[in-house]
Structure 1
Amino acid sequence: MIRPLEYCVNKQHIHDSVDTIDNRIVELLALRKTYIGKGKSLNDEQNGEQNIIRNLDSNYVLLAKRFHLPIVFIQSIFQEIENYINQDFIAKGYEQQ
């Protein structure tokens, strides 16, 4: 459970909230990967829409600014995510051959 910050009165409350946040981050990364996979499978059918999926770089800048985080930090996180997902799809492609 993510306890509202104003109700965190000890380190265990903070620890539990951070653990929940970390779990949600991983859960959302797995969900994101699933959506990207679906998008890639639709790529053949709807080739023009691939630009919509891939035109996310400018979105990272907006996200970083909205949440007051360094742009380079956010871009590097998403670059690592993309590297992982692309590596995974490349590996699966080789397995299917």
Structure 2
Amino acid sequence: MIRPLEYCVNTQHINASIDTIDNRIVELLALRKTYLNKAKVLQDDTDNEQNRIKNISSNQATLAKRFDLPVEFVRAIFQEIDNYFNQDYTTRGYEQQ
């Protein structure tokens, strides 16, 4: 459970909320992977792919600003996510535990 900050009265409350957030991040990454896989199946126009990449990059900057995070930090996170999902998992040292 993510407890609103105003109701966090000790570090146990904060740690439990952070654990929930971390679990949701991983859950959403797995869901993102399933959507990317579906997109690959449906993809039929490489010119559209180039446009999509430009739009995603622009969207990352917008999201970073909306949530008051550094644009380069958000772009770096998404670049790492994309690198992971677009390569052989073992070629860069990523192995499932």
TM range (shorter): 0.7 to 0.9
Equivalence for 1:11: 11
Q: For structure 1, list consecutive stretches of 5 or more residues without a partner in the other structure.
A: 92-97
Distance 1:72 1:50 in 2: 22
**Percent of aligned pairs with the same amino acid:** 64
| Mapped pair 1:73 → 2:70 | no
Shift of 1:19: 0.1
**What per-residue deviation string (whole Å, max 9, x for no partner) do you get for residues 37-59 of structure 1?**
10011013xx2653464330000
Distance 2:67 2:87 in 1: 29
Equivalence for 2:32: 32
**Number of equivalent positions:** 88
Equivalence for 2:49: 50
More helix by share: 1
Distance 1:35 1:22 in 2: 20
TM-score, normalised to structure 1, is 0.82
Letter in 1 for 2:59: N
Distance 1:52 1:43 in 2: 13
RMSD: 1.8
Equivalence for 1:95: none
